[in-house]
Amino acid sequence: MATTTSSFMFLKRILTSSPCRARIGSLRYSKLTIKAQSSDVRKEHVVIVGGGIAGLATALSLHRLGVRSLVLEQSESLRTGGTSLTLSKNGWSALDSIGVANYLRTQYLEIQGIVLKSEDGKELRALNFKEKDGSQELRAVERRVLLETLAGQLPTDTIQYSSRLVKIEPSPNGDTFLEFLDGSKILAKIVIGCDGIRSPIAKWMGFSEPNYVGYCAFRGLASYSDGQPFELRVNYIYGKGLRAGYVPVSPTKVYWFVTFNSSSPGPKTTEPSVLKKQAKDLVENWLPELLNIMDSTPDDTIVLTPLMDRWLWPWISPPVSRGRVVLVGDAWHPMTPNIGQGACCALEDAVVLAKKLAAAINSDDDTSIEDAFRSYGNERWLRIFPLTILANLVGSISQSDNPLVCYVRNNIVRDRVRKNTRLGPLLEHTNFTTESLQR
Ligand SMILES: Cc1cc2nc3c(=O)[nH]c(=O)nc-3n(C[C@H](O)[C@H](O)[C@H](O)COP(=O)(O)OP(=O)(O)OC[C@H]3O[C@@H](n4cnc5c(N)ncnc54)[C@H](O)[C@@H]3O)c2cc1C
């Protein structure tokens, strides 16, 4: 089923990414003019739309370089829901550049390796980060704490909540007109779109909708008030068209996921007790420890997410910027979480963009801002496009429900990976460091 779904998704991807679609998008908007009267339009220099990981990391990176920005977030407050994210050494390098890594390190456990298991609980392979490749740093962090930490370092009034962008239009002088659900209007010199996977700004720029990849993920955060009992390893358990995993986060918390094939994203279910039951039913005969972790999970931390990505085809996908509007994070490159890189790459984007933008702003030259955005796009595309494809391929193999593919996969993991005892090549994609933002 997964193979058929993948082929269908591949065709759909090509059709929905066509240049025609991009062109229609840009024509529709190119004729719009600004009729708003200047009296009710506030002027801003750097506006960031979206206060998620990308938006806050970009705002803080710019702040470290002396550039003030205004973050406009649609929610009423910082989105503190959600579970955890595993951040690899490239994510930690970006957090080091931004200046918040050491604070977060004190709260989250450093993971020592990876264990791969089959659904009957048999260990296929255990790999230790420190044995051969001591340079890896992997920790799962709570999304809530990451957001609060980034927001806590920003000057007061940087984030304006309840600001849902509903309209974006170019203005004749190169500025951008933004209108929000509450009727407020802003004329911004520079706009950074960090508005996530369903980004209205990306849509305005001609990007296609992200593609559903044929599987969904349950996630949860288990709580052990007397201390979590597991070894400091990421556990991956492979079934047929179904996979699960868990990893200790902090001394009292364990993050888990269950990923299952589904021909459609299905109706949006948010009732936590229903989600928990559905997730448990999927893995009811799997390892008892997995069910124990799920039982130890407060219902309200459980979420169900259909997984999506968008491939940034060369010459077909629109560029990352349009005039002085640019994209960061999922708004530009939604990718599946199979290699745990979406947030890591959003953090990398933030640091790289901030450096280039701050240099351009300080040179006080409008053209150089557009050049800075182009340079950011060229540099980041080389990193993002292969990672998006890699994540998708890893997902296709991991989610396969074809018995032959599952047999070969598990045997390769058990025999081949055992011989190839180096973890380095498997984690090559985490070898990316960002520069310090100290002025
Ligand atoms: C199941 C799953 C597991 C994952 N695991 C990992 C992992 O282990 N490691 C990893 O690195 N990554 C992981 N990711 C990816 C990671 O979650 C994303 O890449 C990351 O959250 C992207 O951050 P962002 O700020 O770009 O987008 P978001 O976090 O979606 O933030 C976008 C923000 O924009 C706001 N917004 C949207 N529209 C508007 C609007 N119109 N006006 C104003 N504001 C708006 C939203 O409210 C939101 O706050 C995972 C993703 C999934 C789905």
Domain that holds residue 252: 2-430
Give me the amino acid identity at 136.
Answer: Q
83 within 8 A of 253, measured Cβ to Cβ: no
* Residue 62 in domain: yes
Task: Please give the angle made by the CA atoms of 200, 86 and 296, to the nearest 5 degrees.
Answer: 105
Q: 122 falls in which pLDDT band (50, 70, 90)?
A: confident
* Residue 217 in domain: yes
Q: For residue range 350-364, what is the model confidence (pLDDT) as tens digits?
A: 999 999 999 999 887
Q: What distance in Å separates the CA atoms of residue 424 and residue 431, rounded to the nearest whole number?
A: 9
pLDDT given at position 25:
36
Strand partners, 322: 325
* Residue 439 in domain: no
324 pLDDT more than 90: yes
100 pLDDT more than 80: yes
* Residue 125 in domain: yes
pLDDT given at position 403:
82
* Residue 436 in domain: no
Q: How far, rounded to the nearest angstrom, does the alpha carbon of residue 262 sit from its chain's CA centroid?
A: 21
* Residue 207 in domain: yes
Q: Which residue has the tokens 């007790």?
A: 273
Q: Which residue has better confidence, 422 or 390?
A: 390
CB atoms within 10 A of CB 106: 6
409: left (phi over 0), alpha (psi -120 to 50) or beta: alpha
Q: For residue range 2-15, what is the model confidence (pLDDT) as tens digits?
A: 334 444 444 444 44
* Residue of 73, 247, 260, 344 to mutate, ligand 1, most atoms within 8 A of C-beta: 73
Average pLDDT of 320-343?
Answer: 97
Average pLDDT of 66-83?
Answer: 92
What total of structural domains would you count in the chain?
1
pLDDT given at position 39:
63
Q: For residue range 275-316, what is the model confidence (pLDDT) as tens digits?
A: 999 999 999 999 999 999 999 999 988 999 999 999 999 999
81 pLDDT more than 80: no
pLDDT given at position 33:
41
Task: Please give the angle made by the CA atoms of 171, 328 and 268, to the nearest 5 degrees.
Answer: 100
Residues 6+ apart with CB under 8 A from 312: 332, 333, 381, 384, 385, 388
- Stated as kind and residue range, the H or E segment containing 170 is strand 165-170
For residue 138 the two structure tokens come to: 């992997």
pLDDT given at position 367:
67
Q: Is 241 helix (H, G, I), strand (E, B) or coil?
A: coil
Average pLDDT of 370-388?
Answer: 97
List pocket residues of ligand 1, CB cut-off 6 Å. 49-55, 72-75, 79, 85-87, 91, 163-165, 194-197, 200, 217, 219, 305, 329-331, 337, 340-344, 346
Q: Label the pairing between strands 325-327 and 185-193.
A: parallel
Which of 21-25, 151-155, 387-391 has the least mean pLDDT? 21-25
Q: Packing angle between helix 89-98 and helix 342-362, nearest 10 degrees? A: 30
* Residue 192 in domain: yes
Q: Is 123 helix (H, G, I), strand (E, B) or coil?
A: strand
Question: What's the CATH code of the domain at 349?
Answer: 3.50.50.60
pLDDT over 90 percentage in the chain: 72
Average pLDDT of the chain is 88
pLDDT given at position 366:
65
Distance 49 CA to ligand 1 centre (A): 13
pLDDT given at position 318:
97
53 pLDDT more than 90: yes
pLDDT given at position 268:
77
Q: Where are the alpha helices (DSSP H) in 266-328?
A: 272-282, 288-295
* Residue 437 in domain: no
- Ligand 1, atom 17: closest residue by C-alpha: 343
Nearest to 190 by CA among 45, 12, 87: 45
Q: 425 falls in which pLDDT band (50, 70, 90)?
A: low
Nearest to 281 by CA among 234, 244, 336, 230: 244
Average pLDDT of 167-177?
Answer: 95
pLDDT given at position 126:
87
CB atoms within 10 A of CB 376: 23
Q: Which residue has the tokens 């918390």?
A: 253
- Ligand 1, atom 35: closest residue by C-alpha: 50
